[in-house]
Structure 1
Amino acid sequence: MTAGTDLRPPRVQPAAERTKRVEPGKHWWRRPWRAPLGPLGLVVVAFLAYSLPPYLAFDPARSRVPSTFPAHYLFLVGHVVFGSIAMVTALLQVWPWIRRKHPVLHRYSGRAYVFAGVLPSGLLALTIGAATPYGPVTRASDVLLAVLWLGTTWAGYRAARERRFGDHRRWMVRSFALTMSIILNRLIGPIAAIFLGPQLATTFGGSEIALTQSIAALGAWVSWTVALIAAQLWLDRKPNRRARV
């Protein structure tokens, strides 16, 4: 035997260590569900700062939507206030840190999202949507949106109660998309006005009512359908190969 020779068998690396991968830090734009919560939160705050004041003043003259029946403004105030609660609590629901570290807060904010946000706001939306002054095309969109918003939210709540958390998450992603689609609606309206405005004398025969209804209809339909399709594509995306490994 040669002096100094190490006869110990070579160390076999455990399978867990061999397959472990050290994930490099990802930029926020490569984590579309988690990191943009900060920018999205700022967008929500800015949106609420613009949308709430005319309705918190309880002055019908400041309403941005013409009234079509005596209680229309009160219904609209309720819809906006409860919808604002839904938007704020929706951000708390999708915040990964809260879900991991504070599950009790996640549950309570989820109940607030459902019962103090979506359900009252959605039920009021059925009424004011059916009586919208922006024409039958927008009316159909508003009512359908309200039904889908209520339906996806209730399906998500029931799934959580039955401890089907995978289904709960998928339904709540759809509900979240519909909740935030109002922001997209407010962005599409001005863009539609820019493109359709010059056609007032031709396409719309000089009718400002027809132009206004067309702009409103485009914003109403495109906003929530695009948001819902984007949410479904995100849910149906194929997992990253490295994540599968």
Structure 2
Amino acid sequence: MTTIEKPGVRHTKQAWWRRPWVFPLGLLVTVFLVYSLPPYLGLDPAQSRIQAPMSWYYPVLVTHIGFASIAMVTCALQIWPWLRQKYPVVHRRTGRVYVFAGAVPASIAGFAIALAAPFGPIGAVSNVLLATLWFGCTVQGYRMARARRFGDHRRWMVRSFALCMSIISNRIWGVVWAMVFAPQLDTTFGGSELAMGQAIAGVTTWTGWVLPLLVAEWWLTRSRKKAGSR
């Protein structure tokens, strides 16, 4: 650990290896995108993992996926402490890319497809809220940076990060809830695979982003308490 001193201020800078989550996060984002993007690179609706319920759905879905991919990559770079401390100009420029070429357009497109997604009303409500909160937290974080209120900027961007990366959590919970509900196909769902599929999708979407956001809020509260004690 090293320290950087300025007149009247003492900052502690942690070594890179004290941030053990940086590499796993980058690897996780890379693996997720390598797995998720190929069906959409050819712009062939027949390859889509989600069947379009109407003609406009697929183009908006591809738009959402494209901007969300940019958001995931730039968001991972934004929370990398080494880049933020060593190259603040790169951090600021990457942040603008995250906001204007990632999170904002991705959340707007996500709001549109959430309304028409074939996953049932429970999933639709969840995804509409997710898109709205992601947009709001990102815009608020950008506004705080412009106002040079960097503490507030950091808190809002932590929330935006949690919502951005919730798509990975969503995939994990999808497997968990499928295992929970599958044995109940003939009982709870009366043999209806459609009803079971909508139940899995609904519960998955809620747990996919609510739990990461709660963890983010817990971490922010814990950080404020630590700062107050110091």
Q: Give the TM-score normalised by the residue count of structure 2.
A: 0.90
Question: Whole-Å Cα distance in 2 between the matches of residues 27 and 58 of structure 1?
Answer: 40
**Greater share of residues in helix:** 2
1:186 to 171, 187, 199: 171
2:220 to 235, 238, 241: 235
Q: Secondary structure at the match of 2:20?
A: coil
Question: Whole-Å Cα distance in 2 between the matches of residues 204 and 162 of structure 1?
Answer: 52
Question: Whole-Å Cα distance in 1 between the matches of residues 160 and 99 of structure 2?
Answer: 10
Deviation string for 1:111-159 (max 9, x for gaps)? 0000000011110001100101010000000000000000000000000
The number of equivalent residue pairs is 216
- Is 1:160 matched with 2:160? no
Q: Which amino acid aligns with 1:86?
A: A
- Equivalent residue for 1:149? 134
1:127 to 108, 112, 116: 112
Q: Give the TM-score normalised by the residue count of structure 1.
A: 0.85
1:88 to 61, 66, 73: 73
* Offset of residue 35 of structure 1: 2.3
Question: Whole-Å Cα distance in 2 between the matches of residues 72 and 90 of structure 1?
Answer: 26
Q: Which amino acid aligns with 2:54?
A: F
Structure 1's unaligned 5+ residue stretches are 1-22
Q: Secondary structure at the match of 2:55?
A: coil
* Offset of residue 240 of structure 1: 7.8
Question: Whole-Å Cα distance in 2 between the matches of residues 26 and 159 of structure 1?
Answer: 28
Kindly report which structure 2 residues correspond to 1:33-44, keeping only aligned pairs within 5 A, or say none. Answer: 34-44=19-29
Percent sequence identity over aligned pairs = 55
Question: Whole-Å Cα distance in 2 between the matches of residues 101 and 144 of structure 1?
Answer: 36
Structure 1 segments of 4 or more deviating over 3 A? 25-28
Structure 2's unaligned 5+ residue stretches are 1-11
Q: Which has the larger radius of gyration?
A: 1
Q: Please say if residues 16 and 82 of structure 2, whose CA atoms lie closer than 8 Å, have aligned partners that are also in contact.
A: no
**Greater share of residues in strand:** 2
